[in-house]
């Protein structure tokens, strides 16, 4: 990532003073560095939320894109991918969180995106950032609302009587995802789960840049969102992973995204779900989940 220029155009004197952000390079062949100086007048920690809005450069102007983020200040130091991208860099310069009120001078900052886990959808961008003072107990998160689900295909050599549906049990209840089927083989990391997201645009679903790919057991053990939803059900019914062949009925699935650290790039989408037998690349099953993603503030 190559910074070109920075500017500060509004500072609340109740919280900050003498703030400046500039971009310089030390020689004609050196990298471009960011220099930040300023004085905080109050302790800064998770009582401050950092918001970022990305504007894509198109036709000689910057237009607001769908890419946004909201993150608590200390989460930037402690949670990936922000920890790897920003937090570790700030720690190198002596920054801590919570940060006590004093004057800070952070010089020669570079941001490496070599380990950034997503594909950036554009090359040139303006990043508008602003910090908002929030109650400590407030959490910015996301709500995932499934609308309908279906099984499009399943390979009878691996699976049969497979079905998926979405239900709610009263007019005010949560929407739940339900799945069932009979497996003919042990399922573990020999099954790969592909999730391909299609954004709803102009009355049709268009494939987006968002994709997720997991090994079966790795997803349940390591992913806090999709894997976390399945793990909650399997723990409740005592289902191990790898899971032996048999009849399975996974009911009342919800996605635990209340602490999702990023802004989701679209609101309404279709998720194409593909289960693949890893050694042979045989397709075990295909399905679709239609869902709405809503940013939400939890207290």
Q: For residue range 33-43, what is the model confidence (pLDDT) as tens digits?
A: 888 888 988 88
Provide the strand spans (E) within the chain.
16-25, 32-40, 48-58, 61-72, 103-109, 125-133, 139-154, 159-167, 176-183, 191-201, 204-215, 246-253, 268-277, 283-298
Q: Give yes or no: residues 175 and 227 share one domain.
A: yes
Same-domain pairing of 152 and 101 = no
pLDDT at 139: 47
Nearest alpha-carbon partner for 245 in 178, 173, 159, 163: 159
Same domain, 132 and 180: no
Q: What pLDDT shows up at residue 188?
A: 93
Same domain membership, residue 24 and residue 147: no
Same domain, 105 and 127: yes
Which residues in the chain show pLDDT less than 70?
80-85, 87-89, 93, 112-119, 134-141, 257-263, 295-299
Same domain as 279, residue 226: yes
Instruction: Give the bridge partners for 6, in sequence order.
Output: none
Question: What was the pLDDT predicted at 206?
Answer: 92
Q: Which CA distances in Å does 164 have to 146, 148, 157, 187? A: 12, 9, 19, 18
CATH code of 286's domain: 2.70.220
- Do 187 and 218 belong to one domain? yes
Q: Are residues 249 and 172 in the same domain?
A: yes
pLDDT of residue 183: 95
Q: What's residue 69's pLDDT?
A: 80
> For residue 121, what pLDDT is reported?
77
Pair (268, 162) in one structural domain: yes
Assigned domain for 238 exists? yes
pLDDT at 138: 47
Measured distance CA(111)–CA(129) in Å, rounded:
16
CA distance 92 to 106: 10
Q: Which of 137, 167, 199 corresponds to the end of one domain?
A: 137
Between the alpha carbon of residue 263 and those of residues 15, 155, 208, 213, 283, the distances in Å are 26, 36, 15, 20, 32
Q: Does 10 map to a domain? A: no
Residues 41, 166 share a domain? no
Domain count, the chain: 2
295-299's contacts with Cβ under 8 Å and 24+ in sequence apart are: 295/70, 295/140, 295/141, 295/142, 295/143, 295/263, 295/264, 296/141, 296/142, 296/143, 296/258, 297/138, 297/139, 297/140, 297/141, 298/138, 298/139, 298/140, 298/141, 298/258, 299/135, 299/137, 299/138, 299/139
Of 102, 121, 137, the domain-final residue:
137
148 and 129 housed in the same domain: no
What pLDDT, on a 0 to 100 scale, did the predictor assign at position 126?
86
147-201 confidence digits (pLDDT tens): 999 999 999 999 999 999 999 888 888 899 999 999 999 999 999 999 999 999 8
Structural domain harbouring 287: 140-298
The residue written with tokens 């809005």 in the block is 53
**Tokens, residue 156:** 């009878």
Asked whether residue 254 falls in the same domain as residue 115, the answer is no
């Amino acid at each position: 990532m190559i910074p070109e220029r920075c500017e500060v155009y509004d500072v609340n004197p109740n919280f900050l003073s003498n703030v400046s952000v500039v971009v310089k390079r030390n020689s004609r062949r050196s990298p471009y560095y960011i220099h930040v100086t300023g004085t905080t007048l109050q302790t800064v920690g998770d009582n401050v939320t950092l918001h970022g809005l990305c504007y894509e450069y198109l036709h000689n102007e910057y237009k607001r894109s769908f890419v946004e983020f909201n993150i608590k200040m200390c989460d930037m130091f402690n949670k990936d991918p922000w920890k790897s991208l920003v937090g570790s860099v700030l720690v190198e310069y002596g920054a801590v969180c919570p940060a006590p009120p004093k004057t800070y001078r952070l010089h020669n900052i570079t941001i490496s995106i070599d380990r950034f886990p997503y594909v950036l959808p554009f090359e040139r961008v303006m990043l508008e950032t602003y910090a908002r003072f929030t109650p400590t107990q407030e959490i910015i998160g996301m709500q995932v609302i499934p609308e309908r689900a279906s099984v499009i295909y399943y390979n009878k050599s691996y699976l049969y009587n497979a079905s998926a549906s979405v239900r709610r049990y009263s007019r005010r209840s949560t929407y739940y995802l339900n799945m069932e089927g009979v497996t003919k083989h042990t399922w573990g990391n020999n099954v790969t789960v592909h999730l391909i997201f299609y954004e709803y645009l102009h009355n049709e679903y268009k494939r987006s840049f968002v994709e997720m790919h997991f090994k079966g057991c790795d997803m349940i053990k390591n992913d806090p969102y999709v894997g976390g939803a399945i793990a909650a059900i399997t723990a409740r019914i005592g289902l191990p992973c790898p899971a032996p062949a048999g009849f399975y009925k996974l009911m009342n699935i919800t996605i635990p995204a209340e602490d999702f650290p990023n802004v989701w790039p679209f609101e309404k989408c279709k998720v194409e779900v593909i289960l693949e037998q890893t050694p042979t690349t045989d397709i075990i099953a295909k399905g679709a989940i239609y869902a709405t993603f809503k940013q939400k503030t939890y207290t």
